[in-house]
Structures are given as C-alpha cells and as structure tokens.
Amino acid sequence: MHYAIAALLAALTIATAPARADLLTHVHGLAYSADGKRLIIPSHHGLAIYENGKWSKAPGPEHDYMGFSATAKDIYSSGHPAAGSGLVNPFGLLRSKDGGKTWDKLGLEGESDFHVMATGWHTNAVYVWNPVPNSRMKQPGLHYTFNDGFVWNRASAQGIEGNPYAIAVHPDDPKSVALATPNGVFESSDAGESFAKIGPTQGTAVFFDLDGSHLWYGSYDTEPRLTRARLKGGPVAQFKLPPLTKDAVSFIAQNPARRDEYAIATFNRNVYISKDAGKTWTPIAERGEGK
C-alpha cells in the first residue's frame, strides 16, 4: 500500500478548482469549530463547511490551504495565497482568530509550504514537518513552536522510520506528539526528540482525542484500519470502517461539544461522520461530492 497511498497523494495535487460549495477537489485537513457546530475542510480554494446537513463555503480568502489544524481558539494553516490577497507565495504559517475570515502572518512567507502540520487543542503548540531548509529552520525534518513562530525548535525525531504523512499533538501536553509514516505509527513524550513505535503497519492518519486519553490512528496493511489506543498502555480497539476501495483514512477529528461525534476523511475525498464514537458511519461526501 506504500505506493498506493503515494499515488493517491499525487493525484490530489493536480485537481482543478471547484465552483460549487459542495465539491471538494482536495481534502487537506479536517477540524470542528470550537462550538462543534461546523466541520471545516481546507481545500484547493478556501474552506468548505458542513453545518446542519448542508455544505457551504466559509467567508474569507479562498487560499489553497495545505497544512491545516485547529485549536480551541485559532486556526493555523500553510499553503498558497488566493489571487489578489496580497500575500507572498507560499504564505508560510498563518493564524486566524475568526474562523478563516482574516489571517495573521506568523513568518516564513515566500519560503515554506508545510503540508504536514498539527496543533495542540488547548496549547497552540504547532508542529510541522519541514521539507527543505529555510531562514528559521536550517535542516529538513520535524520542528515545533510554542509561541506562534517567534521561536522554532528542531526535534531530533530519533526512532521514526520514514517521513510522516500526518502529525498529531496532544490537546494539553505540548511535548506529546505522534506521527504516521509509511512504516508505522510513532509516539513521543519529549517534544519529538525520541519516538517509540506503537503501530507496526503503514500509518495514514493520527489524532489525539480531546480528553487526552487515547490516540486514534489510521493504518493500512491488507485493508484500511482505524485503531484507538489508550495512552500509557491499556486496551487497543479496532473500529469497523465503511467500505473503502483502494483507500484509507487520511484525517480524523472529534466534535468538542459532542465528544461521541467523530469525523474521518479519506485519500479519495470521502468524508464520514459517526455520532456513536466510531461504531457506525454516515457519508457526507463521496469522492469529493457533498451529500
């Protein structure tokens, strides 16, 4: 499945721009608003919103949001600016305090486009996988900031195997981070200095639940899987996924207002919601077509 996931990722980079609010040409992330009313999906032209059973476009610039992650107060993103926005391409790291209507520049504009990024829900810790050196990061690899880009730190990332598809940050502990790579799922408790392997097969997605007690991860061996592991040991639960053909889970999110509600997105732009903590799933988008 290593090559299948790589092919899916490559295919997603050549999609064209949508004219409809319910058409997702890309799915570059997945997050709920802090009040739990809206599911937010960054795409090739702006933010798609799913609310009360309907799709819409969020107000604000239609940037090509790549790396994307939300906290209890803010949204962070990286990517490419919309035409006429006045931003340099790529726009480095941005932060929005109003749901994507306006954005603040946090540095690295014109230098970096982070495709793999995550934040801590309550801490605003930001972790990125940096593909090439820039003025603030002298080497590629895992970097993090706890102060909105004022200071960036490089993590040694000892113990990981392969470059990550996804990063997750613990909601309360900024030093607890997880990675999904082609060779497994890895967890760190020391701000990414060292990692332990907790998932033996190809990782595709990672997410800490909002109470900070479990790590959810997508993986693929002979078929796509969704697993929930209790932190610091304990039981591991497997969840039945909807039928996914040549596909796998790419993003996981939890509703902060209704904690039994989860959403998943896949590499083929399928999006599902579960209101019973992953027991059953309802499709809300199929191959990028909103339902």
**pTM of the prediction?**
0.93
Cα 210 to Cα 208: distance, rounded to the nearest angstrom: 6
pLDDT digits (tens, 9 = 90+) for 184-196: 999 999 999 999 9
Whole-number Å distance between alpha carbons of 105 and 90: 12
Exposure string of 203-232, with b = 16+ CB inside 10 Å and e = fewer, is: bbbbbbbbebebbbbbbbeeebbbbbbebe
Confidence at 88, pLDDT banded by 50, 70, 90: very high
Q: How far apart are CA 133 and CA 232, in angstroms?
A: 34
Average pLDDT on 119-144 reads 97
Domain count, the chain: 1
Please tell me the predicted confidence (pLDDT) of residue 244. Answer: 96
Q: What is the CATH classification number for the domain harbouring 35?
A: 2.130.10.10
pLDDT at 19 over 70: no
What is the C-alpha to C-alpha distance for residues 38 and 49, in angstroms, rounded to an integer? 6
Residues 6+ apart with CB under 8 A from 57: 21, 46, 47, 48, 49
Query: What 3-state DSSP class applies to 11?
Result: helix
- The domain containing residue 198 runs over which residues? 2-290
Average pLDDT, the chain: 93
